[in-house]
Amino acid sequence: MWVYEKKLQYPVRVSKCDPMMAKFLLEQYGGADGELAAALRYLNQRYSIPDKVIGLLTDIGTEEFAHLEMIATMVYKLTKDATPDQLRAAGLGDHYVAHDNALFYQNASGVPWTAAYIQAKGDPIADLYEDIAAEEKARATYQWLIDITDDVDLQDGLKYLREREIVHSLRFREAVEILKEKRDEKKYY
């Protein structure tokens, strides 16, 4: 089971009301390489992966939910108290008429999240390579998000999330090495 902890993993700050940036951030909320897809991908792969790496998938999958909450917090703060006119000017008029200020699992273009974004092939190497690729794609998305805003406080949180993708990628790469081993051979190079 899961237990909720009433705090963010990282202190999220934004320095201005910027609904358009909130729209862009949705790419990491309900997008193909976003945090929701990441969490569900890893937690679902756990059931068919060798026991040795179930712990890693569980822990990274759990951390992704903390990141999903950070993205939600950014979107929430960037759009809080924005008027319908402001939302319309930011290209969120279509979002407003369907959802008001509610968050919705969709990407930056408004395409709803789908399970087709995530894969579970049942082959541990194929699944871990997908995970590594997912982390690198999420890292790239964070780079482009950092590039497209001048909000230093927001960039700070996005840089943190980019770094987490790097650490997760390394751990998945290590998991591949662990599965390649025939016994407990030395694995430091």
Residues with a catalytic annotation lie at 35, 64, 67, 135, 165, 168
Three-class DSSP category at 106: strand
User: How many CA atoms lie within 13 Å of 156's alpha carbon, on the beta-carbon side?
Assistant: 9
In the list 85, 94, 123, 163, the residue contacting other proteins (rule: CB under 8 A) is 163
Verify binding: residue 100, other proteins, rule CB under 8 A. Answer: no
In the 8-state DSSP scheme, what is residue 38?
Answer: H
Verify binding: residue 129, other proteins, rule CB under 8 A. Answer: no
The reply to whether 35 sits in an annotated binding site is yes
Query: C-alpha distances in angstroms, 160 versus 39, 56, 99, 153, 183?
Result: 17, 20, 29, 11, 36
Verify binding: residue 183, other proteins, rule CB under 8 A. Answer: no
Residue 134, C-beta contacts closer than 8 angstroms, at least 6 positions apart: 33, 37, 38, 41
In the list 72, 78, 87, 108, the residue contacting other proteins (rule: CB under 8 A) is 72
Q: Residue 85 is which amino acid?
A: D
Verify binding: residue 187, other proteins, rule CB under 8 A. Answer: yes
Query: C-alpha distances in angstroms, 118 versus 64, 70, 95, 166?
Result: 14, 21, 25, 19
Query: At which residue do the structure tokens 């909130």 appear?
Result: 22
The reply to whether 130 sits in an annotated binding site is no
Verify binding: residue 125, other proteins, rule CB under 8 A. Answer: no
Which range of residues in 21-29, 67-75, 86-94, 106-114 is near other proteins by CB under 8 A?
A: 67-75
Give contact residues for other proteins (rule: CB under 8 A).
Answer: 3-12, 53, 55-56, 59-60, 63, 69, 72-73, 76-77, 139-140, 142-143, 146-147, 159-164, 166-171, 173-175, 177-178, 187-189
- Which residues are known binding-site members for Mn(2+)? 35, 64, 67, 135, 168
